[in-house]
Chains A and B, each alone.
Chain A
Amino acid sequence: MKISAEVKVILKDDIKDPAGLAVENILKRTNIDAESSVRTGKFFSIKTFAQNRIEAMEKINKICTEVLTNPNLEQYEIIRIKEE
């Protein structure tokens, strides 16, 4: 079956995110919202094929752990996985 998945990759909580901090500073300076805490990350949309849902999950997890994330720095979350 045809699979489409969406994955979010974000730095681990204890790794400082300078891009997120830059956005926070802008929010403070412009008075848009002084209280926001912002973390930035990456989004991936993946289309593939699998025999069933279990195999689909295995494939997406393998792609995430071996290519999309560095386990020393980042964590990922499969936001959505569905049959097309």
Chain B
Amino acid sequence: MKAGIVVFPGTNCGRDTYEACRFLGWNAEYIWHNKSTLKDYDVIFLPGGFSYGDYIRAGCLAKFSPVMTAIREFIYSEKGMVAGICNGFQILCESGLLEGALTYNLNNKFICDDIELYFEGEEICLPVAHKEGRYIKPKDTVINDLIFLKYKRNPNGSDDDIAGLYDKKRKILALMPHPERAVFKETGNTDGIKIFNFIQKELNL
């Protein structure tokens, strides 16, 4: 497995994602956001953080970085998968690569907590940390088949308790919780490994 981890100005979960990949025995390297060509990767992560200070809207300005054009080509050529975590999910929605949009949590709070989720027929627990995590589903498209992760107790007002979803071709996957923060046993929770394994399974590697 070879992972590329995109770093925008303001990304702050790149290192966590990098270390999680390495821990799982994957190759990993950072990709600075002004790169307009990409090497071959199995998966490209858009990690969490506050790209461009989340000015205007979360993920709004990051979508104009050169790397996003390269990522569109990467997706189009079906070379591998793209995985968005938290701010990465917001960037993918802003770019139109995923359906719907993310906006302010209904309770007006920055939610930083361990959250129970439904994933692949089981209950898991992952950390969340976001203020703009309320998923608004598109009006004219049915996305039921694209949801792979749901909140057990919806913390932010997301439509249909959606915490993570795919694009139609299942080449892009994004979620608001932070699996990379639940990989090492020292953090008290290793459920994040299940998400990384899931990505590997999707890639048949």
Contact = CB atoms under 8 A, between A and B. Distances in A.
Interface of A: 11, 15-19, 21-22, 42, 67-68, 70, 72-73
The B interface, classified by DSSP as helix, strand, loop or mixed, is loop
Contacts of A11: 103
Interface of B: 56-57, 60, 64, 93-94, 100-101, 103-108, 136, 138, 157
Contacts, number: 33
A5 B101 CA distance: 27
A84 B3 CA distance: 51
A68 B106 contact: no
A18 B138 contact: no
Closest 8 CB pairs of A and B: A72-B101, A18-B108, A73-B101, A18-B104, A70-B101, A18-B106, A73-B103, A22-B108
B138 A72 contact: yes
Contacts of A70: 57, 60, 94, 101
A73 B108 contact: no
A25 to B, nearest CB: 10
Contacts of A68: 56
A18 B60 CA distance: 20
Contacts of A67: 56, 60, 64
Contact of B106 (A16, A72, A73): A16
Nearest to A71: B101
A21 B106 CA distance: 9
B108 to A, nearest CB: 4
Nearest to A14: B139
Contacts of A15: 103, 136
Nearest to A11: B103
Contacts of A17: 104
A77 B190 CA distance: 48
Contacts of B94: 70
B108 A19 contact: yes
A19 B107 CA distance: 9
A19 B104 contact: yes
A18 B103 CA distance: 10
12 contacts: A16-B106, A18-B104, A18-B106, A18-B108, A19-B104, A42-B56, A70-B57, A70-B101, A72-B101, A72-B138, A73-B57, A73-B103
B162 to A, nearest CB: 14
Contact of B107 (A18, A42, A72, A73): A18
Contacts of B108: 18-19, 21-22
A21 B107 CA distance: 10
Given A18-B106, A72-B138, 9 more contacts: A11-B103, A16-B157, A18-B104, A21-B108, A42-B56, A67-B56, A67-B64, A70-B94, A73-B101
